[in-house]
Amino acid sequence: MNTAQPETIQRLDYTVPSFLVDHIDLTFDLAPSATSVSATTRFKHNPASDSREIVLNGQDLELVKIVMNGRTLEKPDYALDHGELRIPNAPDDVTLVIDTLVRPDKNTSLMGLYISNGNFFTQCEAEGFRKITYYPDRPDVMASYTVTLFADKKKYPVLLSNGNLVDQGDLPKGRHFAKWEDPFKKPSYLFALVAGNLVCQEETFRLADGRDVLLQVWVEDGNLDKTPHAMESLKHSIAWDESRFGLELDLDRFMIVAVSDFNMGAMENKGLNIFNTRYVLANPRIATDQDYANIESVVGHEYFHNWTGDRVTCRDWFQLSLKEGLTVFRDQEFSADRTGSDSGRAVKRIEDVRTLRQVQFPEDAGPMAHPVRPDSYQEINNFYTVTIYEKGAEVVRMYQTLLGRDGFKKGMDLYFKRHDGNAVTCADFLAAMADANGRDLSQFELWYSQAGTPRVKLESDYDSLNRTLSLTLSQSCPPTPGQTEKKPFLIPIAIGLLDAHGKEIPVRVKGSDNASDTCVLELTQEKQTFTLVDVPEKPVISALRNFSAPVILEFEQTDEELLHLLANDTDSFNRWEAGQRLAMRRLLELTHAVRENRPLTLDKPFIDAFRTVLTNTSLDPALRELALTLPSETIIAEKMDEIDPRAIHTARQFMRKTLANALEKEWQKAYKNNLTDGEYRPIPQDAGKRALKNLALSYLLLCDSTDTCHMAIDQYRQANNMTDRLAALTSLVHSGCMQKLPEVKELLEHFYKEYENEPLVIDKWFSLQSTSPTTSIESIRELMEHPAFTFRNPNRARSLIFGFCHNNMAQFHAEDGSGYEFWAKYLLELDRINPQVAARLARCMDQYKRYVPSLRQPAERALKQVSKQELSRDTREIINKTLSA
């Protein structure tokens, strides 16, 4: 750690590697306190480079020996400084043998080779391989790998690495070995090994071409009953990629391994995916409906990386969204298709856009704003962001919107034909899409190079005499760090029209012979007018259908028009959106009223609109649940120039309580009508009913009646699944029932004792308390003293510390600044253990300069206090950018 300013790496400074690697042979003698690593690497000079210097990266390594072409090197044959080992004047062909020692049991960063629950695991993306051996640790150096693992057989009976198992056997003194070969060239970040006492569920799966492959899900003993859903998700993923994109599994086996200590969600190492346990382990006793959906999505995501990330990878880390944005889009489409219905696809789309607005839009408006393809970074770990992933996925989705599903598939086919086995750039992907469809997409490149969320203003003018509708669209994008001037984007705006009876009016643009219910207008200039013809009456406009572009739409519509869309729009996303806009108007007004000490009221037409949605049984329950969930406090804050977190919380709680009391009978009926009897099934239909029922319960607990608390207590006691049990307990704690009824505290204690041997459930126990508006900072500190809490496990730290700082607006933003002091203290403690996780915690202060003055000053004081301390590169970059924004 250091207090110096980290070096800034620029995208335009990219140079090709001076030497390429043909093959690397790795040998590990595994021991927790001192693992010996021997790497034999064959280098060839890169004819595209004028340099004759071999540059190898290394971090936290003990160098034992270097042998080049049979000769042991001594200084000054090489230089070792600042994490780089340099060998000057190397010949064209070089074989290097490098022996190192690493200390896995001391590695709390969870990058490189580390120990978790007595087992060995690796995490090498982005720059973890350099903590294993000296190597050109960059994604554009691709090589084939042979890996041999030696270990004590009793302690580590399972030895895994990438590719195919080619040899294994016993050795003297109770030891054994396993040898793995990966036939496909890969960059170092995709290397993986696992060694330990594990068990697996395995199945043989037949691919579309008739070939049988072995699928394995490896877990710690005692968790085998929690693997079937992950296995089924893997099989569905393989089948979907074959049918949707014609992409097959290319290895003889595919392995998933679950580990409890993991910085990320999962990692797509070639053929050996390593997962956070939260995205593998599930059964009705410990997993919610959302857990089941997340597991299927993440398993799909990592499997889809086999082609979009492994077979074709990124040239440098600036191109990260090339693989991540594309693969998020693929897993979103997979999850949507898996719902099996149009309403299911709409639910998935709404959920994805809510995430974008709640997390990515604030990032675009804050000090860490960066393009989908960044221009610079100081620590690459900080750029695994929602901009790279979720906004990157929206950029990929726009290709499909512009080119059509078939055109997108043609572009994907050409992309793989051109680049299979190579490390490429976002520009290469764009070129494949353009060339396959004969389109000029040069303007579309701005989505990669310009940061910020574009704003699109829509104005309409109906001409009844000529039966035309003029739509004037104008776009702008606010300044972001390093970018003050923005050029116009190519923005696809999907438009639909409804008549007075709620029926679709065919949309036809002047000059076109085609008419359809939805038309995609391509906005390419700062301001453009589109004329729609044959419009028989003044319509209600349904704009930006299915959220056709990641923009903020500014379009003035009356409450009556929004109510019309809420009741009739055939585009389910915009039907939901109309309700959100109606609610947001009132939430913003209520927030201003709180700040100005004015009386708080909620108008009857809005309450009636809410009632109409709640009682509309023709709507899918999952869609109703989404429509009846108010915009989050974070999304409300994004609509305000000056953020007053406690006023926002007060306003939103007032609206929820008012809707609860005004619609108590309707909530009661919705609760009873959506009970799911019998055996628990994590299918979309049942999950939607549970979601609506549990939303109704959360509203009922806000009614001025204690009977509803007993209703939730009964649900907790009678539940046969984690979804209903956790929802009941969360509603009881968050509503304040714990202060009214002693039974609630007893239930909280019962929940812990019932699941104390289930770490993922104990994470939920910490989280439901840390996010409760009734939980004070003092209570959080008490929870940190609980024997089950530890900073060293990222999931546990996220459940308590992150839950409070990121998701408890009412308590974290205390007027006395105690929340910020808490954040500063534990950020520093976490940074000493795991910088990557600490840097994520630092992000909760991104927006501090927009806080009201009474909060801005203590927030800045806490930030400056942190900035004066010794920090990791990861956290230093975040703090500096936040203060200097």
Name the residues annotated as catalytic.
Answer: 302
For the record, the structure tokens of 172 come out as 């003297």
Tokens (6 digits) for 534:
């044959």
Q: What Cα–Cα distance (Å) separates residue 586 from each residue in 596, 601, 638, 662?
A: 15, 9, 15, 16
How far apart CA 763 and CA 799 sit, in angstroms, is 6
| Amino acid present at 318 | F
* Beta-bridge partners for 522: 492
Please list the alpha-helical segments (H only) found in 446-598: 446-449, 559-568, 572-595
Name 403's Cβ contacts closer than 8 Å, sequence gap at least 6: 410, 411, 433, 437, 439
Degrees to nearest 5, angle at CA 598 with 597 and 604:
145
Distance, in Å, from the CA atom of 326 to the CA atom of 301, rounded to the nearest integer, reads 10
608 close to 542: Cβ distance less than 8 angstroms: no
Three-class DSSP category at 734? helix
Answer for the pair 230, 292: CB distance below 8 angstroms, yes or no: no
Q: Dihedral sign, CA of 852, 853, 858, 861?
A: positive
**Other Cβ atoms closer than 10 A to 246:** 12
How far does CA 320 lie from the centroid of its chain? 14
Strand partners, 200: 218
Which residues have a Cβ under 8 Å from the Cβ of 464 and sit 6 or more positions away?
A: 537, 538
Contact of 193 with 160, CB cutoff 8 Å: yes
- Residues 439/448, Cβ–Cβ less than 8 Å: no
**What is residue 539's DSSP assignment?**
P
Strands of the sheet containing 455-463, edge to edge, are 527-532, 468-476, 455-463, 552-554
Nearest residue to 27 (alpha-carbon basis) of 147, 134, 130, 136: 147
Give which of 327, 331, 347 is closest to 339, Cα–Cα: 347
Dihedrals φ, ψ of 334, to 5°? Answer: -60, -50
For residue 320, the surrounding DSSP H or E stretch is helix 320-339
Which long-range contacts (C-beta less than 8 Å, at least 24 apart) are formed by 460-466?
460/541, 462/535, 462/538, 462/539, 464/537, 464/538
Phi, psi of 213 (to 5 degrees): -125, 155
What does the alpha-carbon distance between residue 864 and residue 883 come to, in Å, rounded to a whole number?
8
H helices present in 227-379, as ranges: 228-245, 289-304, 320-339, 342-355, 361-364
